[in-house]
Amino acid sequence: MCLKERSISYTSIGILNACKLQQGLPKYFCSKNLPKRDDIVILIDEDGDECEVIYLAEKRGLSGGWRGFAIDHGLVDGDALVFQRIRPKTLKVWLQVSWQSWTEITT
């Protein structure tokens, strides 16, 4: 799994590893935008639908609820995600399917 940060401190771009039960996030993004302790974080997708997930501060990852979010959105390994903090403990998530996912959907 590879996650890259943009220079804007409240935005992070991630490449998804959908098979995992936990999605890791960059340290800098977490320290600036997410709680210092384990807590519930709300993900808002492109349609405005909300999903609660558990943020594990020490592991800097999204856990409980993350797998369901990935399944509900049809995410697969290689899909790109953009996380943007819009409020404390609330992240907007933009999904960009990988070329492999797109060809599977359209064939």
Binned at pLDDT 50, 70 and 90, residue 17 comes out as low
Reported confidence tier of residue 12, pLDDT bands at 50, 70, 90: low
Q: Which residue has the tokens 């992070």?
A: 12
Q: What is the structure's pLDDT at 97?
A: 64
pLDDT 10s digits, 64-100? 888 889 888 888 777 778 888 999 999 999 887 665 5
User: Would you tell me how many other CB atoms lie within 10 Å of the CB of residue 43?
Assistant: 20
Q: Of 92, 91, 89, 93, which Cα lies nearest the Cα of 36?
A: 89
Taking a C-beta distance cutoff of 8 angstroms, is the pair 6, 25 a contact? Answer: no
Q: What is the pTM of this model?
A: 0.74
Q: What are phi and psi of 81, to 5 degrees?
A: -125, 145
**43 pairs with which residues across the strands?**
51, 91
Decide: helix, strand or coil at residue 13: strand
Greater pLDDT, 37 or 63: 37
